[in-house]
Chain A
Amino acid sequence: MISVHHYLLLSAILFCIGTFGVLTRKNAIVIFMCIEVMLNSVNLTFIALSRHVGNMDGQIFVFFVMTVAAAEAAVGLALMIAFFRNRESIDVDDFNMLKW
């Protein structure tokens, strides 16, 4: 029998994978994918908990998270393209113009 704990455990693992990826990967697109994994693990948590507590608030929240993630993707990819046009790279090691 799969209980809510299994879902929570799975989403916690996914969230950690995402966080770890953001902190260790060098390619901007991969980092962005890791952030999406984090957001989707949150969505999974919301849906499992929505079922668990027995109201719809969590599922509605997921719609908003997905919408916002789509808007963020549009803006983020546009920023990456602008950076790539100037530097011909999207490696985060090349984000080095600004430092003290």
Chain B
Amino acid sequence: MDANLVQEAMQNVNFQAIMPSLVLSVFGMVLLLVSVFSPRGKTTHVAWLSFIALIVTGFVSLNGWNNPQAGFAGSVVLDNFATFFSMTCLIAAGLTILMSDSYLQREGYPVGEYYPLILFTTAGAMWMASGTDLMTIFLGLEVLSVSLYVLAGFFRGQTRSNEAGLKYFFLGAFSTGFLLYGVALIYGVTGTTKIDGIAQFVQAMPDSTSNVMFIAGGMLLLTGFLFKVAAAPFHMWTPDVYQGAPTPITAFMSAGPKAAAFAAFIRVTIIGLESLQADITAVFWVLAVLTMTVGNFIALSQKDVKRMLAYSSISHAGYALVGLVAWNEIGVTGIMFYMLVYTFMNMGAFAVLVLVGKKGEENLTIDGLAGMGYKRPVLGIVLCIFLFSLMGMPPTAGFAGKFYIFAGAVKAGYIWLAVIGVLNSAVSLYYYLRVMVSMYFKDEGEDFAWVSMNTATAISIVIALAGVLVMGVIPGPFMEMAKLAGF
């Protein structure tokens, strides 16, 4: 082996750039061992240890704020953008872990592997947010997805959970095929898988934008990403998987991994495929409208609350796509802000549902929540605040998030897109209000005596509530942070 070559390779290594996901992965592996040597059925200590792991990782990834670290020949970078999305994923994972322990006890699956799997998913998500090479993005995506397949099918004795895991697995692997084929074709044209390398190649040879292989590659790559963020018409797996998976995992899937997918999506489209901007915005304009409309209109007819929130998460992916169509600073920072807001409001709503459900969760239908507002007044008001935020009502954070995204669209000249977005929010009022009507105006419901508060879930609800209210009343500082982190 050539000594110079080794030395040159070692100079490219910069462990600072991958430190957050490295720390989290090591914690995950140690916790796997801890759970093996723990008595069967005891998982509370694993839950708290993994929560500590997330906090430690949060401090480690804050090192990258205003102090960008590139490493491994420029294939990973820990910059403000990656840090912002990493924090979003870490918050989502933390809230998930807090609401999980009592849930797993109730459902009869107190198994320790659950928490390390969440840590691995988060590590993959952070890897994806900091990837600047299609190879690292692909690896992060797969670490994230493979762990999530297991988590979605975690209740192995329940057919519904099995089915959710299998459906997620098949459609996830299928979409990975498209994504990879797109990467391969782009690599064939540009000779590199680095995102900035692709952009530089196209800048040097502008006629490659009319190359069929390049356009096909770009479109296949974007198809793969659209599957992951559950945009219509690639959203078919979402409701089934979200309904069948364990509830905390549903909450996590709709927030953390989706934010990471958007992070990679933004980096690839805005930096790597900038040359195709005209084509991409034209396609995404249609897809954003389709995603919002399909999500909102199908949600109208749902009876199961988890399934309704699954369709609502499709429509929220549509709102985020509006920011990508705008393709300007305020649009991109709007997406970043919105993903953080969505994490708080959606996780909060699911945390309340986790508490209210009975074993097996057959009662989590809109009619099943009848009278909850009177029998559990505090939980009722809290759930209402989260639903108001999902609707986009001021002064909650959901309003600020939607405002920035639609402002970006208007600024870029897509006034009709913003109008359709606002009309869609109006449609969404109906199905969120239906839950509230059932909670407050129907009296024949059950007594909700089985609902017992516990510290961990209470903490997660309080954190989510604080996030929704603080970011709603004073969105300025958070938006400034997103601006520092955006491109």
B165–A79 CB distance below 8 A = yes
Closest to B138 in A: A64
Say yes or no: is B361 at the interface (Cβ < 8 Å to chain A): no
CB within 8 Å for A53 and B170 given contacts A68-B139, A82-B162: no
B193–A95 CB distance below 8 A = no
B170–A61 CB distance below 8 A = no
Q: Which residues of A contact B173 (CB under 8 A)?
A: 32, 35, 72, 76
CA distance in complex: A76, B149 (Å): 8
Q: What is the count of residue pairs linking A and B with beta-carbon distances less than 8 angstroms?
A: 128
CB within 8 Å for A83 and B142 given contacts A15-B177, A57-B187, A98-B244: no
Shortest C-beta distance, A67 to chain B (Å), equals: 9
Segment at the interface with A among B93-101, B151-159, B257-265, B406-414: B151-159
Instruction: Name A79's contact: one of B153, B180, B188 (CB within 8 Å).
Output: B153
Q: Which residues of A contact B188 (CB under 8 A)?
A: 8, 45, 49, 52-53
Instruction: Name B146's contact: one of A32, A52, A54, A72 (CB within 8 Å).
Output: A72
B166–A79 CB distance below 8 A = yes
Q: Which residues of B contact A85 (CB under 8 A)?
A: 156
Instruction: Name A39's contact: one of B180, B191, B240, B301 (CB within 8 Å).
Output: B180
Interface centre among B150, B177, B302 (most CB of A within 10 A): B177
Q: Which residues of A contact B142 (CB under 8 A)?
A: 68, 71-72
Say yes or no: is B183 at the interface (Cβ < 8 Å to chain A): yes
Chain A residue total in the interface (Cβ 8 A):
45
Instruction: Name A42's contact: one of B158, B180, B298 (CB within 8 Å).
Output: B180
Say yes or no: is B404 at the interface (Cβ < 8 Å to chain A): no
Chain B residue total in the interface (Cβ 8 A):
43
CA distance in complex: A46, B180 (Å): 9
Residues of B326-377 at the interface with A, using a CB-CB cut-off of 8 Å, are none
CA distance in complex: A23, B181 (Å): 18
Q: Which residues of B contact A82 (CB under 8 A)?
A: 153, 156, 162, 165
Q: Which residues of B contact A80 (CB under 8 A)?
A: 166
CA distance in complex: A22, B167 (Å): 12
Q: Which residues of B contact A87 (CB under 8 A)?
A: 159, 162
Q: Which residues of B contact A78 (CB under 8 A)?
A: 150
Q: Which residues of B contact A65 (CB under 8 A)?
A: 180
Shortest C-beta distance, B418 to chain A (Å), equals: 30
B163–A95 CB distance below 8 A = yes
Say yes or no: is A60 at the interface (Cβ < 8 Å to chain B): yes
Say yes or no: is A2 at the interface (Cβ < 8 Å to chain B): no
Q: Which residues of A contact B314 (CB under 8 A)?
A: none
Majority secondary structure of chain B interface residues (helix, strand, loop or mixed): helix
Residues 17-59 of chain A: 1 if any B CB is under 8 Å from the residue's CB, otherwise 0? 0110010000010011001001101100110011011110110
A42–B177 CB distance below 8 A = yes
Instruction: Name A15's contact: one of B157, B170, B181, B302 (CB within 8 Å).
Output: B181
Q: Which residues of B contact A57 (CB under 8 A)?
A: 135, 187, 191-193
Interface centre among B149, B157, B167, B170 (most CB of A within 10 A): B170
Instruction: Name A98's contact: one of B150, B174, B193, B240 (CB within 8 Å).
Output: B240
Q: Which residues of A contact B167 (CB under 8 A)?
A: 95, 98
CB within 8 Å for A83 and B149 given contacts A53-B187, A58-B184, A76-B173: no
Say yes or no: is B316 at the interface (Cβ < 8 Å to chain A): no
Say yes or no: is B70 at the interface (Cβ < 8 Å to chain A): no
B191–A42 CB distance below 8 A = no
Q: Which residues of A contact B181 (CB under 8 A)?
A: 15, 38, 41-42, 45
A45–B240 CB distance below 8 A = no
Q: Which residues of A contact B150 (CB under 8 A)?
A: 75, 78-79
CA distance in complex: A100, B138 (Å): 33
CB within 8 Å for A31 and B184 given contacts A57-B192, A64-B138, A86-B159: no
Q: Which residues of B contact A52 (CB under 8 A)?
A: 188
Shortest C-beta distance, B344 to chain A (Å), equals: 27
Say yes or no: is A97 at the interface (Cβ < 8 Å to chain B): yes
Q: Which residues of A contact B177 (CB under 8 A)?
A: 15, 18-19, 35, 38-39, 42
Say yes or no: is B239 at the interface (Cβ < 8 Å to chain A): yes
Q: Which residues of A contact B146 (CB under 8 A)?
A: 68, 71-72, 75
Shortest C-beta distance, A52 to chain B (Å), equals: 7
Q: Which residues of B contact A38 (CB under 8 A)?
A: 174, 177, 181
CA distance in complex: A31, B180 (Å): 18
A/B interface sample: 20 pairs, CB < 8 A? A15-B177, A32-B170, A38-B177, A41-B181, A42-B180, A42-B184, A49-B184, A54-B191, A55-B191, A58-B187, A61-B184, A71-B146, A72-B142, A72-B146, A75-B150, A76-B166, A79-B162, A87-B162, A98-B163, A98-B244
